[in-house]
Amino acid sequence: MADFIRNPVVALPESDPEPHFSAVELVFTDGEKDEIARRIKQYPTADGAVMWVLWLAQEKFGFLPPEVLRLVASALDLPYAQVYGVATFYTQYYKGKKGKFVLDVCTCFTCQFCGGYDMLAYLEEKLDIQRGHTTPCGTFTVQEVECLGACGSAPMLQVSNGSYVHNLTRAKVDAMLEALQQGEQLPFVSLTLPQDEDEMGGNRRTDAEASELYQTPPASRATQ
C-alpha cells in the first residue's frame, strides 16, 4: 500500500493473456464436482458458493488465471464476469503465478509499530527479492499485506493464506524459512490476548486442541 500511495497508478489487466493450462488440465474431478455440488446446496443460489469454489480451484491449480475462472464460472453456471469480479476483489485469490510459499507480511498499523517493515526488509534481504516478487527457484513470494487481524502478536506474517507466524523476530524468520524449505508443515498457531488468558482458561477458540498456546508477554518482547 505504501508503494501505491507514492505512485497511485492502477494498471489495466492484460486483456487476452496466454493460457497457462491446457483444456485437458482444466477439469474438475468427480470428487471435486461432488464437493462443489454439496457447497452449492448450502446456499440459496449458486453465487453463494463462488468464493468456496474459487478457493478449491486455487488449491488445485495454484493460482487463478482467466481460463480457471471460466472453469469455475461454468461449474457454478454463473457469468464469467461475475466470477472475475469476485476473484479480483480479494487479494487472497492469486491472479498470477506465485511461489510455492507466499509470505504475506503485515505492515498495517500495529505491525508497523512493532517492526513489520523491519521483518519485511529482512525477508527481502535474506531471499534477495523485492516485495511482490518470487525467488528465482519459485519457492517463496514475499508480499506486503494489510491487517490480518492478529495485532495482539505483532509483527506477524501469514504463509500461503494459511498458518500465521506470530511475534516475528529475525531468528524466527530464519527458522520458518528453514522449516518451509525442509518441507515441514507449519502448525496453525492461535494466540489468546493476555487479558483474556486467565478468564478463558487458555484459549477461547473452539478448535483449542489444534492450537498451541503461547505464553505472554510475547516472545519477541521477552527477548528484548
Partner 1 sequence: MPQVTIDGRVLEFEGQPRLLQFCLDHGIELPHFCYHPAMSVPANCRQCLVDIGAPMRDRATGEVRTDGEGNPVIRYFPKLQTSCSHVIADGQVIHTARTSEKVERAQQDTMEFLLINHPLDCPICDQAGHCPLQIQAYKYGPEGSRFEFRKVHKPKRVRLGPRVVLDAERCINCTRCVRFTDEISRSHQLTIIERGVKNYPITPPGVEFDEPYSMNVIDVCPVGALTSVDFRFQARIWEMTRTPSIATTHAKGSNCFLWVRDNLVLRITPRPNPEVNEYWLADEDRLCYRQFNEDRPAGPQVRNAAGTLEAVSWEQAISTAASVLEKAGAGAAFVGSARATVEDNWLLIQLAEQTGGQVVGFMEHIEAGHGDGWLRTDERAPNSEGCRRLGMTPVDGTMLRARLEDGTITALYVLEDDVIGLLSAADLQEVSVIVHHYHTTNRTLEVAAAALPAAMSAETIGTYVNLDGYAQRVRPAKVIQGASRTLMMQMGLSRADRHGTPFDRWYNETHYINCKPSWELLPAVAEALGAKVPAGGPRRIMEQISQRCDAFRGVSYKAMGLEGMPLPASIQLEAA
Q: Applying CB under 8 A, which residues contact partner 1? A: 5, 8-17, 66, 69, 79-85, 88-89
- Mapped onto helix, strand or coil, the DSSP state of residue 103 is strand
Cell of 94: 492469486
Residue 10 or 24: the one with the smaller Cβ distance to partner 1 is: 10
Tell me the closest approach of the beta carbon of residue 1 to partner 1, in angstroms: 10
Backbone CA torsion sign across 10, 87, 56, 150: positive
Shortest distance, position 78 Cβ to partner 1, whole Å: 9
Complex with partner 1: residue 43 or 89, whichever CB lies closer: 89
If the CB atoms of residues 13 and 194 are measured against partner 1, the closer one turns out to be 13
Nearest distance in Å: CB 200, partner 1: 33
Nearest to partner 1 of 49, 64 (CB atom): 64
Helix pair angle (30-41, 50-61), 10° resolution: 160
With vertex at residue 94, the alpha carbon angle to CA 100 and CA 186, rounded to the nearest 5 degrees, is 40
CB 173 within 8 A of CB 160: no
**Closer to partner 1 at the Cβ: 12 or 42?**
12
Residue from 62, 71, 75, 60 nearest 26 by CA: 71
Q: What's the closest the beta carbon of residue 67 comes to partner 1, in angstroms? A: 9
Residues paired with residue 29 on neighbouring β-strands, in sequence order: none
Question: In angstroms, what is the minimal distance from the CB of 146 to partner 1?
Answer: 10
